[in-house]
């Protein structure tokens, strides 16, 4: 595998950053993950726009233009002969000798790294079987709209899920589901309304979430962006998650309690098919 590190394509095993890198020391950095399908970038523009917004919110300047970053992502995908999977990108405030909290003075260059992971997203067995989720308290900070590399709360949440045999953790604040550890959360109510939490500082604005909401509305499915409780989710007809690395995945149980008839629901299944088609036909 080939990675990209600060201007050079290098074997992944030789891709290195400094121990003084502020991403390593302070989690002072931003990341993005975009899917690759048929060797092309899925829904690329929203991911680049979110990257620009995230770095802007932490006062970090990208070392390359968004157009150049997309070119580099495409080159990385080609060099790796990647057909399906993900491109991971991380930019940090760079390596500085002082380990001082305020931004470094002088010409400390941001660190930009990218690598790819192969994954069969379209034919993932979990899309057919559905996934189990557990609920955990949302212990994260108040700027979850920034795609920061500070992911310890999600590491612990998703480890708790894995230990319970579940694929995702839904995080809960004030009785309401915020989102999954690395996905957006949706339910389908008894009245066939698709419900997902509105964007705010409480969640990451998911690119897949945004596309799925639009695709659903275009097909006259009713979507409400509002808060929902765990009890409402447990009583729902269907539940599902969305993310760049999994597209749409049906949820068949929450905290060990069956959702609907315990099988992937027709709406989640249909939205998944619609999203796969969108991803294929719009990838660049």
Residue 73 is a binding residue for ligand PLP (CB under 6 A): no
Q: How far is the CB of 104 from ligand PLP (least distance, A)?
A: 27
For the CB of residue 207, give the shortest distance to ligand PLP in the complex, in Å. Answer: 3
- Where are the alpha helices (H) located in the chain, listed in sequence order? 22-26, 44-57, 66-79, 125-129, 152-163, 207-218, 230-234, 266-282
Q: Which is nearer to ligand PLP, 54 or 80 (CB)?
A: 54
Name residue, tokens 């009245």: 191
Which region holds residue 126: left if phi is over 0, alpha if psi is between -120 and 50, else beta? alpha
Q: Which of 179, 239, 240, 265 binds ligand PLP (CB under 6 A)?
A: 179
* Minimum CB distance to ligand PLP smaller for 178 or for 269: 178
Four-CA torsion 251, 36, 215, 30, nearest 10 degrees = 80
Among 44, 90, 92, 183, binds ligand PLP (CB under 6 A): 183
Which region among 128-136, 160-168, 200-208, 267-275 touches ligand PLP (by CB under 6 A)? 200-208
Considering only 57-65, 90-98, 107-115, 176-184, which stretch makes contact with ligand PLP by CB under 6 A? 176-184
CA 192 – CA 196 distance, rounded (Å): 13
Query: Under the criterion CB under 6 A, does residue 184 sit at the interface with ligand PLP?
Result: yes
- Per the document, the length of the chain is 284
119's CB contacts (< 8 A; 6+ apart) are: 84, 85, 86, 245
Active site residue: 40, 74, 147, 237, which one? 147
What distance in Å separates the CA atoms of residue 281 and residue 284, rounded to the nearest whole number?
9
Binding mask 135-164 for ligand PLP (x = CB under 6 A): ------------------------------
207 near ligand PLP (CB under 6 A): yes
Q: What's the rounded Cα separation, in Å, for the pair 214 and 211?
A: 5
Out of 93, 209, 237, 272, the only residue in the binding site for ligand PLP (CB under 6 A) is 209
| 3-class SS of residue 193 | strand
Q: Is 206 among the residues that bind ligand PLP (CB under 6 A)?
A: yes
Q: Is residue 263 annotated as part of the catalytic site, yes or no?
A: no
Site for ligand PLP in 224-243 (CB under 6 A): 242-243
Helices (H), 130-234: 152-163, 207-218, 230-234
Lookup: tokens for 168: 């995702």
Binding flag, residue 29, ligand PLP (CB under 6 A): no
Annotated catalytic residues are 147
Which spans of this chain sit near ligand PLP (rule: CB under 6 A)? 33, 179, 182-184, 204, 206-209, 242-244
């Amino acid at each position: 595998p080939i990675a990209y590190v600060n201007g050079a394509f290098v074997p992944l095993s030789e891709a290195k950053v400094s121990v003084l890198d502020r991403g390593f020391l302070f989690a002072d950095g931003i990341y993005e993950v975009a899917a690759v399908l048929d060797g092309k970038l899925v829904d690329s523009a929203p991911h680049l726009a979110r990257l620009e917004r995230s770095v802007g919110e932490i006062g970090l300047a990208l070392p390359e233009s968004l157009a150049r970053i997309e070119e580099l992502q495409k080159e990385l995908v080609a060099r790796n002969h990647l057909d399906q999977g993900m491109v991971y990108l991380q930019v940090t405030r760079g390596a500085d000798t002082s380990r001082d909290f305020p931004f470094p003075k002088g010409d400390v260059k941001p660190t930009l790294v990218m690598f790819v992971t192969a994954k069969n997203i379209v034919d993932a067995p979990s899309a057919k079987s559905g996934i189990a989720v557990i609920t955990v308290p949302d212990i994260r900070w108040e700027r979850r709209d920034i795609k920061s590399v500070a992911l310890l709360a999600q590491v612990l949440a998703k480890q708790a899920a894995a230990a319970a045999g579940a694929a995702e953790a839904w995080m809960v604040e004030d009785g309401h589901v915020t989102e999954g550890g690395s996905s957006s959360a949706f339910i389908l109510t008894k009245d066939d309304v698709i419900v997902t939490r509105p964007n705010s500082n409480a969640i990451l604005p998911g690119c897949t979430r945004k596309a799925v909401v639009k695709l659903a509305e275009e097909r006259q499915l009713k979507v409400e962006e509002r808060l929902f409780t765990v009890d409402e989710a447990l009583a729902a007809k269907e539940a599902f998650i969305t993310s760049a690395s999994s597209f749409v995945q049906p949820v068949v149980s929450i905290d060990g309690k069956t959702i609907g008839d315990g099988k992937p629901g027709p709406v989640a299944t249909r939205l998944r098919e619609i999203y796969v088609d969108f991803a294929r036909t719009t990838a660049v």
